[in-house]
Homo-oligomer: A and B are copies of this chain.
Amino acid sequence: MALIVQKFGGTSVGDIERIRNVANKVKKELGKGNKVAVVVSAMSGVTNQLVAYVKELSPLATAEAWAEYDQVVASGEQVTSGLLALCLCEMGIPARSYSGWQIPLKTDKAHGKARIESIDAQKMLAEINSGKVVVIAGFQGVSEDGRVSTLGRGGSDTSAVALAAALKADRCDIYTDVNGVYTTDPRIVPVARKLDKIAYEEMLEMASLGAKVLQTRSVEMAMNHSVIVQVLNSFNDEAGTLLVKEEDIMEQKRITGIAYSRDDARISLTEIANIPGMSAALFAPLAQAGINVDMIVQNVTEGGKSTDITFTVPKADVDMALKVVENLQGKLKYKSLHADKNVAKISVVGVGMRSHTGIAQTMFEALAEKNINISVISTSEIKISVLIGEEYTELAVRALHAAFELEKA
């Protein structure tokens, strides 16, 4: 008899009929002889409405404002937890709801993006072992001063994985509205293939590179606590994608998937005086301003006297980044500064890269063949990312998907 944590997102609990559907998923899992804990999101649209109310009243510029934000937006998951528990009870399945504070799932005081500090699993485990299904409001906890806290948008995934770890669950099933994790976005590449398994590290790259199926933090947490996570569709009965340790994937392909993101902008500085400490002089002030610099490329110009630097920042931060860099003109004495928001980051990801060679070559050739110009390249052990013109996004994704033959199992 296994203990399974099931997590259902907003579209899976979007109305009463869908909540009934979720209750049937729970029943099915129980029918296999398993014990079940369920984590639910707010009904789709609810959180957006609540956030809109809050934003009408406040720019959310203070810690106190974020505490009230949490008081407001955490209510959506509370509602769903009660409705699903009620639905299960009416089906003859003993169940009860839990808000974050009732567990308690304790967090720090960083309201709006709180980190989980501890989860008391005792009460829930007692109920589960007495034959009850516990239905937990995701996304929320209680801070050390007894106020409602939330884990940030998409935090219900993190709740689910953290609860699976605390309950020592055998598996954490993340139900969503897609069949699992694909080799790339099926809306762009119709022959994209659902992956049966993916390594945590790969999923982490895919998630942080724009694949929206799982929140990055939840993948990190699953990896750190070795929680076996399955991503699957609440609207059908197909097998999903299993997140596992690298060594649990028998045969590594060269590449597992292709991610893309339109969330970054490129900033270029030309002819900076090429002196020691120049990089620190540029990037330290950006870091102090809270701007997350991602890709960086530096070219020394002819003669070695000056250097050009290009880097990427989140689109939302580009104006702030430009201001920071403008203030550094006296120090860096660059010739020109420009920003380009019309860029996309395309990444090939796979733990197979560790043992296969020629990945970069295949990637660059495939892009060159379509006349797609690469402006920045960055690599890690298991991914290669390139920055290209935004209008080439789909073309590049399709070319790479074909070049690595990802449609083949």
Q: Is the CB of A71 within 8 A of B65?
A: no
Contacts known (A57-B16, A57-B90, A148-B99); A71 close to B62, Cβ less than 8 A: no
A58 at the interface (CB under 8 A from B): yes
Q: Is the CB of A78 within 8 A of B71?
A: yes
Binds B, one of A30-38, A79-87, A229-237: A79-87
Interface centre among A16, A86, A97, A101 (most CB of B within 10 A): A86
Complex CA gap A64/B87 in Å reads 11
A54 at the interface (CB under 8 A from B): yes
Q: Is the CB of B62 within 8 A of A89?
A: yes
Q: Is the CB of A86 within 8 A of B102?
A: no
Q: Is the CB of A65 within 8 A of B82?
A: no
Q: Is the CB of A64 within 8 A of B96?
A: yes
Q: Is the CB of B86 within 8 A of A58?
A: yes
A147 at the interface (CB under 8 A from B): yes
Q: Is the CB of A71 within 8 A of B85?
A: yes
Complex CA gap A96/B62 in Å reads 13
Which of B20, B58, B87 is close to A89, meaning CB atoms less than 8 Å apart? B58
Q: Is the CB of B53 within 8 A of A65?
A: no
- Residues of B within 8 Å of A65, CB to CB, are 86, 89-90
Q: Is the CB of A83 within 8 A of B57?
A: yes
Q: Is the CB of B148 within 8 A of A90?
A: no
Q: Is the CB of A72 within 8 A of B99?
A: no
Interface centre among A56, A75, A99 (most CB of B within 10 A): A75
Contacts known (A16-B53, A53-B83, A75-B78); A89 close to B69, Cβ less than 8 A: no
Complex CA gap A234/B194 in Å reads 58
A318 at the interface (CB under 8 A from B): no
Complex CA gap A334/B305 in Å reads 114
Q: Is the CB of A68 within 8 A of B86?
A: yes
Complex CA gap A53/B79 in Å reads 10
- Residues of B within 8 Å of A71, CB to CB, are 78-79, 81-82, 85, 97, 99
- Residues of B within 8 Å of A146, CB to CB, are 102
A50 at the interface (CB under 8 A from B): yes
| Top 3 closest pairs, chain A to chain B, by CB | A71-B82, A72-B82, A75-B75
**Residues of A that sit less than 8 Å from B by CB:** 16, 19-20, 50, 53-54, 56-58, 62, 64-65, 67-72, 74-76, 78-79, 81-83, 85-87, 89-90, 96-97, 99, 101-102, 146-148
Could you name 15 residue pairs across A and B whose Cβ atoms are closer than 8 Å? A16-B57, A53-B79, A54-B82, A54-B86, A58-B90, A68-B96, A68-B97, A71-B78, A71-B81, A71-B82, A71-B99, A72-B79, A72-B82, A75-B79, A101-B101
